[in-house]
Structure 1
Amino acid sequence: MHFPSYGKLKFFVASVTFVVLLTWLFLIVGNLENGRSLLLSPCLVEQSMPRYLERDTLELRMREVVEENQQLHLQLSQAQGVATKAQDRNYSNQQWVASADAGPEDGENMAEEPSNQGGNHSDCVHRPMVEKCELIHVACVCAGHNTSRDVVTLVKSILFHRRNPLHFHFITDMVAHQILSSLFRSWMVPSIEVSFYDADELKSEVAWIPNKHYSGIYGLMKLTLTKALPSDLTKVIVLDTDITFATDIAELWAIFWRFADKQAIGLVENQSDWYLGNLWKNHKPWPALGRGFNTGVILLLLEQLRRIGWEQMWRLTAERELMSMLSTSLADQDIFNAVIKQNPALVHQLPCFWNVQLSDHTRSEQCYTEVSDLKVIHWNSPKKLRVKNKHVEFFRNLYLTFLEYDGNLLRRELFGCPSQPSSESIRLQDALEELDEDDQCYDFRRERIMVHRIHLYFLQYEYAPTEDDADVTLVAQLSIDRLQMLEAICNHWEGPISLALYMSDAEAQQFLRYVLASEVLKNRKNVGYHIVYKEGQFYPVNLLRNMALRHANTPYIFLADVDFLPMYGLYPYLRKSIVQLDMAHSKKALVVPAFETLRYRLSFPKSKAELLSMLDVGTLYTFRYHVWTKGHAPTNYAKWRTATTPYKVEWEADFEPYVVVRRDCPEYDQRFVGFGWNKVSHIMELDAQEYDLVVLPNAFMIHMPHAPSFDISKFRSSSSYRYCLTMLKDEFHQDLSRKYGSSALKYLTAERNI
């Protein structure tokens, strides 16, 4: 056999090495441009990097290439072997590229999912990728206060894992629309779009279907999505609100590429025996294919459904089955299954880890070998967290993690994905740029423009307007350390209440548990609880007051503080006074005299006469007489002792009474945070708008003792805090003068004469 010379052999090996390196470089560039993980093994793509090529893995593969080429140089004497290896490797790379470039149809068999019966593990197969900035659409039906609260936890679990822009589509009633629109507007999460669709306009589509399910008419709304959602929307992931994601939703979105020609609905098999009809004697479920499918998680290929006439298809099926079934038991799920029974080609069966159903007596444990394999957890039982499952503690903890997770942390940007900032974000950014970061009072000024995340009507709220248009709402704000006052206030005040609560996500859940455990609070439906989530360094007291004020639903409001107990019967007394003093046609602020006790256990006075007796013996005092006399001195307590009719008082510097006014009164100035001048500034503006201050002769409220707040401690201990408060007061005076002209100069004069 003839062997080439050593020089030629060396040149041959160098050429092969260059070809191999050039091939790898070509693939790397292609990956970076197209965002596709062609260099990774299918296992690595599926298990570790569902969408993007990770830098560390890329570097690892490059090191492997270098090591391989070093081995080539060590085998100079085996020229034929080197050439063979090079050819094999190039062939392998070509095959990888070919499989990766295959379209949905070409890759259909390669991307086939494992059976539901076998758990979460599958052979290593190549899966189509989701583009880096591809917009993912998610739809939910959400109605009422409780469901609105549930959907927030679902959204948190999605946002926690997501790396794509999202567009949420909510089918809502009026209540959920108000709550969720306010929440997302104040949340300001980048790369998120939200659209709302009026459920009332869709009710006629499904109202004719009798339904026994606890979800009521809203449980049938998913049938209408081809009509409700925009006509140019081609596909959407549809979710129940009792869903928790344990993975990136983009992995679910990618499954659309695996649909065969006729498939239009992606579903997980039902994990209970419901559709087998053997749960009890004479149990007759709706028709279904095998065990049927659960509709808690649905992939809807909308363009395909519209093409085949989905609306007519499900209507005709429902009409036919209702002739014998009379009503649905599982709402939309019964009708989806009946349609699929007649048209099996419509369904693309998803692996069951995409909808692990935790209702009692299910086969959900067959979906996974380890709980870490899970993708989506579905609490589809009326018992929710109390279901029976050997891993329920793990599931519960995962759910509670997102329930109490700080939503502010989910405001992270998606780098590399362009997004259109909201008008609120632009306004906030412009306002921040106008601030001087070297200003000693920068933190105070920043607090004024901060946008806090808000969840309105956190609990069930019901209110029916009175016929006399003289109803009044008690308005107050609080943090979690004042929760103990709520039961007492509800016992003293039977009218509507609007409360703004400053809390973290975890504290909001603690508050929820507190209310549900209270016999007094859980039965009161005319209390509006509005959560303002914690952010920043200060307690935003006037922002909280404004939040509670804006969402009072009565013509009049009683501006109080949560550590005061109103006298028994104050609510009907105020309503009567509103009519007698003709507040509908005059600008009056009715002053409710304030008192205090230093005793934690107080036999609350049942009348003015009893209060005066307690005042005389020292059980009660006029409010803050010993530390801040000016705050309430203009009330003229001496005159109040003998007064039998309302009397007018004049404004004086630092006057800060608790008043009843029309709901259209000026709001509190939000530059004042924490302790100091937050109520004083508001009363000053009422006076500037020529409100008459009228003291009610038979009304009173009593301040109950509590530990000093953190903010008053900061005021007392920090000279910088006190300096900035003085600066804010001066700026408020200047703004008041610009707003109300020369008549407002009296406030500045009064302040300087103190």
Structure 2
Amino acid sequence: PLPRNPPSQWGASADTGPEDGDNTAEERNNHTECPRSPSVQKCELIHVACVCAGHNASRDVVTLVKSVLFHRRNPLHFHFITDTVAHRILRTLFQSWMVPSVQVSFYDADELKSEVSWIPNKHYSGIYGLMKLTLTKALPADLSKVIVLDTDITFATDIAELWGIFRKFTDKQVIGLVENQSDWYLGNLWKNHKPWPALGRGFNTGVILLYLERLRRIGWEQMWRLTAERELMSMLSTSLADQDIFNAFIKQNPVLVHQLPCFWNVQLSDHTRSEQCYTEVSDLKVIHWNSPKKLRVKNKHVEFFRNLYLTFLEYDGNLLRRELFGCPNAPPALQMLEAICKHWEGPISLALYMSDAEAQQFLRYAQASEVLKNRKNVGYHVVYKEGQFYPVNLVRNVALKNANTPYVFLTDVDFLPMYGLYDYLRRTVVQLDMTHTKKALVVPAFETLRYRLSFPKSKAELLSMLDMGTLYTFRYHVWPKGHAPTDYAKWRTATTPYRVEWEADFEPYVVVRRDCPEYDQRFVGFGWNKVSHVLELDAQEFELTVLPNAFMVHMPHAPSFDISKFRSSFGYRNCLNTLKDEFHQDLSRKYGSAALKYLTAQRTA
């Protein structure tokens, strides 16, 4: 994937696969044999879900992810249910690694708490140990199947082999699990030990194959709830979190489970039969440290397992960046462009900052995209990568110069315009006589922190989402100065365009004539790149006019490396301040004494 979401400008202008045989011997004696037929396509995308909350879980999941990435030969999409802490850690981790052919999505665990908080739970994982029950609701509705993993898992083989087992499911099977390797569900561990009901020894939920599409079809959400409510009348609480409810459900519906060979979840706790799961340790495929004691458990091969774990713990994440030969990965910019095209029917001038290889991948995907291949009004312009910093304003200028309409809407590829914005802007430029006046029309910007958003279809719906906390004014919590002059309070009730005055650090997204000033290309990376452009628009006496019935929404994504450099490097910030001073001095020479107000505003800001 691209290391950044490059800006685009539009409207006129917008900135070898493993094999796994259908092997009955494997299922019978838990030994791997030579594969006979491929069950996973070479470039098939494999989806992996994990619930991860807090610092400790984040540390564990790093080792899990490294072990998966080390062995994999397919593109991967990780889905993480996280709290705020884990979200921040994992987002930064994947951003730092920049592993090709890996997508990552985050889902807010706080939004799922109400789904399971009514279940009393004694397990040390707490409320997060129940959230795997909610995955049919939490994950995207068009996701048909997923591998679900605990954070204390280490892979010793390619995860595609496990993914291939979905093809062995019967038409009725919806869940794939390994038998529990302790005696817990047999109820004989101590006097008066009363576990939840289970089929035989029960199943362990550290590794799950979930056929989401089928689960939704049979009404999984209602079924697990009814199961939990029924059993809690006598059990009062769960001891093993989601595992108890999964097992109670399976006992009532045994036809729905596909039993996996036990080497797919070798459970390492003090009281398990895991050693019966393999003859040689080389036979196992997944190690599960399913004990609060983790690496301190008792097992005759524990040193081997511990060393394998430590190997991945200490493995350099940079070494995971190998390309998957022949497997193009959909860049984030393309995915956003497809969404933008559904919102904006007008012409688009798209500028992208890419390597040669990324450009070829992008071209292949664009030509194969059902959304893009029928569009005849999208121009793609590639700026090839060079140097350490992202030349954001150079890329913007490439999009601007290649636009062929009289007016341009200058925006970035991580924003979705409101539905119908293209037609609204076409009408507005006529109504406001932009042919004979110098106006910059401000499209108010909002943002969401949710990866799944029901996009507002009207201003009224957007205002309701603002009041509910689903949407926010753009960057209000980190950089309010950037958009405060838009005057969102006035916009709420405005029915006609209104003029606003320039203020220091104002950086709205605007509609202007195509012959507007270009962006200043000395600003690279993060910081002041749009600010300088709006400042020069004001210096040329463009009127900043806010549109009352227009809006755009910023979609969440991992922050760029340049933001990290800005925040962590005094030298970077010092250089940026030097560039600001140079820019102000050039502005004064270009526009005379009237431009001195910008230097004064900068020094008092």
Confirm or deny a common fold (TM above 0.5).
yes
1:316 and 2:226 equivalent? Answer: yes
User: Per the alignment, do residues 743 and 382 of structure 1 end up closer, same or farther by CA in structure 2, a change over 3 Å counting?
Assistant: farther
CA distance in 2 between counterparts of 1:341 and 1:127 reads 33
CA distance in 1 between counterparts of 2:133 and 2:251 reads 16
CA distance in 2 between counterparts of 1:671 and 1:739 reads 23
Q: Answer yes or no: is the 8 Å Cα contact 1:235–1:302 preserved in 2.
A: yes
CA distance in 2 between counterparts of 1:671 and 1:312 reads 47
1:224 deviation in Å?
0.8
1:152 deviation in Å?
1.5
Aligned-pair identity in percent equals: 75
User: Per the alignment, do residues 433 and 392 of structure 1 end up closer, same or farther by CA in structure 2, a change over 3 Å counting?
Assistant: same
Partner of 2:255: 345
SS across alignment from 2:204: strand
CA distance in 2 between counterparts of 1:202 and 1:742 reads 52
SS across alignment from 2:251: helix
1:247 and 2:161 equivalent? Answer: no
CA distance in 1 between counterparts of 2:85 and 2:183 reads 36
- Range with greater deviation from structure 2 (417-426 or 276-285): 417-426
Q: Answer yes or no: is the 8 Å Cα contact 1:120–1:367 preserved in 2.
A: no
CA distance in 2 between counterparts of 1:254 and 1:274 reads 30
For residues 102-117 of structure 1, what are the structure 2 equivalents within 5 Å? 111-112=23-24, 114=26
CA distance in 1 between counterparts of 2:52 and 2:567 reads 36
Partner of 2:464: none
Using CA pairs under 8 Å that are at least 6 residues apart, name the structure with larger relative contact order, 1 or 2.
2
Instruction: Give the alignment partner of residue 50 of structure 1, picking from 5, 13, 19.
Output: 19
Instruction: Give the alignment partner of residue 215 of structure 2, picking from 305, 309, 318.
Output: 305
Q: Answer yes or no: is the 8 Å Cα contact 1:112–1:258 preserved in 2.
A: no
Residues 690-749 of structure 1: CA deviation (Å, up to 9, x unaligned) = xxxxxxxxxxxxxxxxxxxxxxxxxxxxxxxxxxxxxxxxxx6x77423555999xxxxx
Residues 36-55 of structure 1: CA deviation (Å, up to 9, x unaligned) = 9xxxxxxxxxxxx626xxxx
1:173 deviation in Å?
1.5
Instruction: Give the alignment partner of residue 315 of structure 2, picking from 383, 405, 418.
Output: 405
1:138 and 2:48 equivalent? Answer: yes
User: Per the alignment, do residues 668 and 396 of structure 1 end up closer, same or farther by CA in structure 2, a change over 3 Å counting?
Assistant: closer
Q: Answer yes or no: is the 8 Å Cα contact 2:26–2:261 preserved in 1.
A: yes
1:449 deviation in Å?
6.1
Larger radius of gyration: 1
1:737 and 2:564 equivalent? Answer: no
1:219 deviation in Å?
0.3
1:427 deviation in Å?
4.2
1:125 deviation in Å?
7.3
For residues 424-463 of structure 1, what are the structure 2 equivalents within 5 Å? 427=353, 429=355, 433=384, 435=386, 446=388
CA distance in 2 between counterparts of 1:132 and 1:178 reads 32
CA distance in 2 between counterparts of 1:232 and 1:223 reads 18
Question: How large is the Cα RMSD of the aligned pairs?
Answer: 3.8
Residues 498-538 of structure 1: CA deviation (Å, up to 9, x unaligned) = xxxxxxxxxxxxxxxxxxxxxxxxxxxxxxxxxxxxxxxxx
Partner AA of 1:255 in structure 2: I
User: Per the alignment, do residues 113 and 236 of structure 1 end up closer, same or farther by CA in structure 2, a change over 3 Å counting?
Assistant: farther
User: Per the alignment, do residues 324 and 429 of structure 1 end up closer, same or farther by CA in structure 2, a change over 3 Å counting?
Assistant: same
CA distance in 2 between counterparts of 1:197 and 1:321 reads 29
Give the aligned length: 372
User: Per the alignment, do residues 211 and 127 of structure 1 end up closer, same or farther by CA in structure 2, a change over 3 Å counting?
Assistant: farther
If the length of structure 2 is used for normalisation, what is the TM-score? 0.55
User: Per the alignment, do residues 203 and 363 of structure 1 end up closer, same or farther by CA in structure 2, a change over 3 Å counting?
Assistant: same
Partner of 1:182: 92
CA distance in 2 between counterparts of 1:266 and 1:672 reads 45
Partner of 2:63: 153
Partner of 1:415: 325
SS across alignment from 1:399: helix
Partner of 1:645: none
User: Per the alignment, do residues 309 and 181 of structure 1 end up closer, same or farther by CA in structure 2, a change over 3 Å counting?
Assistant: same
For residues 520-539 of structure 1, what are the structure 2 equivalents within 5 Å? none
Note the residue ranges of structure 1 that are not aligned, 5 or more in a row: 1-34, 37-48, 52-99, 101-109, 436-444, 451-551, 554-666, 689-731, 745-754
Instruction: Give the alignment partner of residue 169 of structure 2, picking from 253, 259, 264.
Output: 259
1:377 and 2:287 equivalent? Answer: yes
1:355 deviation in Å?
0.2
Partner of 2:499: none
Partner AA of 2:175 in structure 1: I
SS across alignment from 1:328: coil
If the length of structure 1 is used for normalisation, what is the TM-score? 0.45
Partner AA of 1:266 in structure 2: G
CA distance in 2 between counterparts of 1:347 and 1:113 reads 20
Q: Answer yes or no: is the 8 Å Cα contact 2:49–2:148 preserved in 1.
A: yes
1:202 and 2:112 equivalent? Answer: yes
For residues 738-753 of structure 1, what are the structure 2 equivalents within 5 Å? 738-739=583-584
Note the residue ranges of structure 2 that are not aligned, 5 or more in a row: 1-15, 335-350, 357-381, 392-476, 479-562, 590-605
Partner AA of 1:218 in structure 2: Y
SS across alignment from 1:193: strand
User: Per the alignment, do residues 670 and 196 of structure 1 end up closer, same or farther by CA in structure 2, a change over 3 Å counting?
Assistant: closer
